[in-house]
Amino acid sequence: MMTTAYTPDMSLITDDVHPALGHWELPHFAEEHELPPRDGAPGQERVIQFREALREAMSEEMRRDQRIFLCGEEVAQYNGAYKVSQGMLEEFGEKRIIDTPISENGFAGMAIGAAMMGLKPIVEFMSWSFSLVAADPILNNAPKMLYMSGGQWGCPIVFRGNDGAGGQLGSTHSWCVEGLYANIPGLKMVIPSNPYDAKGLLKTAIRDPDPVFFLESERMLGDRAHVPAEEYYIPFGRARRVREGDACTLVSWGRPVNFCIEACEKLAENGIECDLLDMRTIRPLDIDSIVASLKKTGRVVVVDQSWPFGSVASETITQICEHGFDWLDSAPVRVNTRDVPTPYARGLEHAYLPNAERVVEAVLRIVEV
Amino acid sequence: MTQATSKPRNADTARLSDALPNETLLKWLYDMQLIREFEARTMQMYQQAKIGGFCHIYSGQEASAVGCTAAVNHDDPIVLAYRDHGHALARGMHPAACMAEMFGKLAGCAKGKGGSMHMFDKPNWLFGGHGIVSAQTPLGTGLAFACRYQWEVMETAKKRVCLTFLGDGAIDQGAFHEAQNLASVFGIPVIYIIENNGYSMGTAIHRHTANCDRLTMRGESYGIKSIEVDGLDIRNVYDQMKPLVDECRDLQRPGFVDLKTYRYQGHSMSDPQKYRTKDEVESFKERDSIANLAAHLMAQEDDGGRGCLTEDDWNTMQKDIRQIVMDAVAFAEQAADPDPEKELSTDTYALPMKNLSPSENYSHGTKNPLL
Ligand SMILES: Cc1ncc(C[n+]2csc(CCOP(=O)(O)OP(=O)(O)O)c2C)c(N)n1
Ligand SMILES: [Mg+2]
């Protein structure tokens, strides 16, 4: 019964994906120019809704990999509270499309355990607002497991759901969690602004071996755009230039990118052309593209639909100052939601959001006309 | 406080554990004594400030970890809370890896990143050591969910069960109630073992949980097969756990165990123990699980014992164990500290990429010593 000597092997890890995850296949992450065209040939467009793009991403990956399952409230028989998972129960059955009780703490933790054990869960939060009661598992377990176990157990999991103000849902249902959660090392965070990106980014999120927080918006689920039929994966950490200009750099992610597009159109009427960057992921955050744009414009406005104090916008501006200070012709400006709980009344909610008017105003403040 | 008395002994009733070979029971004795000795040294090392942070001693509860793990297979996953040195050793972690972890050394089971409360051992299917009271209960439910999924959907594994240990204090957490409900609704082969040592830190069980004499009602209310176990007698632990494990494995259903036990030391290393009397502690020491098993193995068959251990054997075993634990301490002492330059930011991401952090350039670093 004598214990043998302990002689650990302390060699270095050389694999791309940490060995805690076992054998792990990564898809080909295309560079921007290799991705299929964003616009379909005239008459050949395949226009689908944002929610369908999400569904296609999940279904394609689930067909490929049996380890993937989807769980959350109302995802199966009800077809999804927001119809994202419509029809998936029929295709994949109740063992892989799983209706859960209203126990975010319980089912998020359960999914994390399943991920540690080698499965690939997709957890749908009806709203990220409800993820707050699951704070312990999603913040304390998922992003720290690999580290805390000294590289023994990974946690490949995707948490996804609606983030930010819906339509007049009031303060409990309108959380923008990126300001809180992006603070945490060990997780990746993706916030798409359109159907094309949503599909390519969600497919990448599912193939990624780390915990990915994927933030959608109820207000965009019905947005329609051409989404190519061919398969593509959008790499994390690569911003997309939505509009080209040299008056000012506009940086945003998620739904406010659409506010920025509206603002750019208004500004263009006055001859002000902005360089609009859609960050797509904020952890990683493509600071290189921001600085490259800044070299051209000398001015930057960051638009973020979460509260200003300690927000992703503040982090972005800090990084801009660290990496692009010499190119700044004026102080960077942030446009966040107003610093109050989310109101209900339509007019109040509009005023609260980083809407197009507020973006225009911010740009005009620093651009010499 | 309330503790179940031992099950009435009836010499005529065959016990499940009676059918086990002597070697198995000798191994139990060895493992329990190893934990006892290991914890004695741990306390010493803590007092010498070689070990930092919070440190929870398992002495007194050994029959639980050793008896419960004896009732499952090696590849059945196990997860628990922060009082975890005993389970790590019972599962087969090398004492040197466990001690080195508490010393914060790179050769520790979590490369010095976990500490006393976070023991992980992948080759032995140990999923931690978790510091947040009851956080492990949804995790264990998920480990068992995956077991069932791998058996039923993927057909890549045979039926497995997951043992999820928690303290009596942990049963008050909402997470545990959500976990039980999920396990029952989904048919998840997880067994929740409440290591009921009568206290949640300094709060006696009747002061922190309702109906504390009938905890099994909780499990039953969720439709979970629930049993009470005298956890101070390891043969009894095995006798009761084995059929439950077999049933949960077979039916792919959850189980609930109110395992009555007692900790000899304070809650953590910084506990003056004003909430209980010395007499109470002594009364439990009289029923010590290790002494009892040793006595059983030494007693002759005519006296209901096994007669497979002599006084000398037992002394030699204790001496060997003392040496092994001293070697573990010596290993931990001389082992290298993790170099902050090299190891602080490793193991953060499984797939590091550029711009994940304003301050870090993540990489994979040193392989875990247990892998
Ligand atoms: C959520 C949470 N609250 C409080 C604590 C502090 N704490 C650590 S252990 C403990 C007592 C738990 O007692 P019990 O579950 O009976 O386990 P035991 O220590 O007896 O093994 C407390 C209050 C914690 N770690 N996590
Ligand atoms: Mg207790």
Residue B6 pLDDT > 50: no
- CA-CA distance, A308 to A318, in Å (whole number)? 13
- The amino acid that residue A89 corresponds to is L
pLDDT of residue B12: 53
Do B227 and B314 have their domain in common? yes
Residue B1 pLDDT > 50: no
CATH of the domain at B39: 3.40.50.970
Question: Is the CB of residue A140 less than 8 Å away from at least one CB of chain B?
Answer: yes
pLDDT band at B7 (very low <50, low <70, confident <90, very high): very low
| Dist. CA B210 → ligand 2 center (Å) | 15
- CA-CA distance, A232 to A36, in Å (whole number)? 7
The answer to whether the CB atoms of B110 and A319 lie below 8 A apart is no
Give the residue-averaged pLDDT of B144-169.
98
Do B307 and B352 have their domain in common? no
- The amino acid that residue A278 corresponds to is D
- CA-CA distance, A148 to B348, in Å (whole number)? 9
Contact B62, B68 (CB under 8 A): no
Question: Is the CB of residue A135 less than 8 Å away from at least one CB of chain B?
Answer: no
Give the domain extent around B360.
339-371
Q: Which of residues 30-69 of B touch A (CB under 8 A)?
A: 30
Do B315 and B362 have their domain in common? no
| Dist. CA A5 → ligand 2 center (Å) | 34
Q: Which of B200, B206, B207 to mutate to test the pocket of ligand 1 (most atoms within 8 A of CB)?
A: B200
Do B251 and B354 have their domain in common? no
Give the residue-averaged pLDDT of B115-121.
98
Residue B205 token pair: 């069980």
pLDDT of residue B5: 45
For residue A94, what are the CA distances in angstroms to A76, A202, A229, B186? 7, 22, 27, 11
Do B122 and B250 have their domain in common? yes
Q: In Å, how far is A182's CA from the nearest CA of chain B?
A: 10
Q: Within its chain, how far is the Cα of B113 from the centroid?
A: 20
If DSSP codes are grouped into helix, strand and coil, which group holds residue B104? Answer: coil
Contact A311, A282 (CB under 8 A): no
If DSSP codes are grouped into helix, strand and coil, which group holds residue B74? Answer: coil
Do B67 and B92 have their domain in common? yes
For chain A, which ranges sit under pLDDT 50? none
pLDDT of residue A181: 98
The residue behind tokens 């009082």 is: B83
Do B229 and B320 have their domain in common? yes
Question: Is the CB of residue A172 less than 8 Å away from at least one CB of chain B?
Answer: no
Do B157 and B266 have their domain in common? yes
Number of other residues whose CB lies within 10 A of the CB of residue B134: 26
**A160 strand-pairing partners:** A124, A214
Mutation for A interface: B190, B308, B347, most A CBs within 10 A: B347
Closest residue in chain B to residue A212, using alpha carbons only: B349
Contact A51, A82 (CB under 8 A): yes
Residues of B in Cβ contact (< 8 Å) with A6: 94, 96-97, 107, 328, 331
The residue behind tokens 């197009």 is: A356
Do B163 and B307 have their domain in common? yes
Of A45, A60, A74, A173, catalytic: A173
Q: In Å, how far is B4's CA from the nearest CA of chain A?
A: 31
Q: What is the 3-state secondary structure (H, E, C) of chain A?
A: CCCCCCCCCCCECCCCCCHHHCCCCCCCCCCHHHCCCCCCCCCCCCEEEHHHHHHHHHHHHHHHCCCEEEEECCCCCCCCCCCCCCCHHHHHCCCCEEECCCCHHHHHHHHHHHHHCCCEEEEEEEEHHHHHHHHHHHHHHHHHHHHHCCCCCCCCCEEEEECCCCCCCCCCCCCCCHHHHCCCCCCEEECCCCHHHHHHHHHHHHHCCCCEEEEECHHHCCCEEECCCCCCCCCCCCCEEEECCCCEEEEECCCHHHHHHHHHHHHHHCCCCEEEEECCEEECCCHHHHHHHHHHHCCEEEECCCCCCCCHHHHHHHHHHHHHHHHCCCCCEEECCCCCCCCCCHHHHHHHCCCHHHHHHHHHHHCCC
Residue B114 token pair: 């976990």
- CA-CA distance, A90 to A367, in Å (whole number)? 54
Do B117 and B15 have their domain in common? yes
Residue B284 pLDDT > 70: yes
The residue whose CA is least distant from atom 7 of ligand 1 is B133
B359 Cβ contact list (under 8 Å, min separation 6): none
pLDDT of residue B4: 46
Order of strands across the sheet that contains A333-335: A240-243, A274-278, A248-252, A300-303, A333-335
Mean pLDDT of chain B: 96
Give tens-digit pLDDT for B310-363.
999 999 999 999 999 999 999 999 999 999 999 999 999 999 999 999 999 999
Pairing of strands A188-190, A158-162: unpaired
pLDDT band at B293 (very low <50, low <70, confident <90, very high): very high
Contact B174, A105 (CB under 8 A): yes
Number of other residues whose CB lies within 10 A of the CB of residue A264: 24
Question: Is the CB of residue A82 less than 8 Å away from at least one CB of chain B?
Answer: no
Q: What are the pocket residues of ligand 1 if the criterion is a CB atom closer than 6 Å to any ligand atom?
A: B 83, 131-133, 167-170, 197, 199-201, 267
pLDDT of residue A1: 55
The answer to whether the CB atoms of A153 and B152 lie below 8 A apart is no
The domain total for chain B is 2
What ipTM does the predicted assembly reach? 0.97
- Residue A28 annotated to the active site: no
Closest residue in chain B to residue A144, using alpha carbons only: B348
Q: Within its chain, how far is the Cα of B322 from the centroid?
A: 21
Q: Helices A195-207 & A50-64, crossing angle to 10 degrees?
A: 30
The answer to whether the CB atoms of B143 and A95 lie below 8 A apart is no
Residue B94 pLDDT > 50: yes
- CA-CA distance, B105 to B92, in Å (whole number)? 19
Number of other residues whose CB lies within 10 A of the CB of residue B33: 22
pLDDT of residue A159: 98
If DSSP codes are grouped into helix, strand and coil, which group holds residue B146? Answer: helix
Q: Which of B82, B87, B133 to mutate to test the pocket of ligand 1 (most atoms within 8 A of CB)?
A: B133
Do B43 and B109 have their domain in common? yes
- CA-CA distance, B341 to B354, in Å (whole number)? 18
For residue A47, what are the CA distances in angstroms to A53, A55, A359? 10, 14, 29
pLDDT of residue A368: 79
Q: Which of residues 248-287 of B touch A (CB under 8 A)?
A: none
Question: Is the CB of residue B149 less than 8 Å away from at least one CB of chain A?
Answer: yes
Residue ranges and CATH numbers for the domains of chain A are 18-226 (3.40.50.970), 240-366 (3.40.50.920)
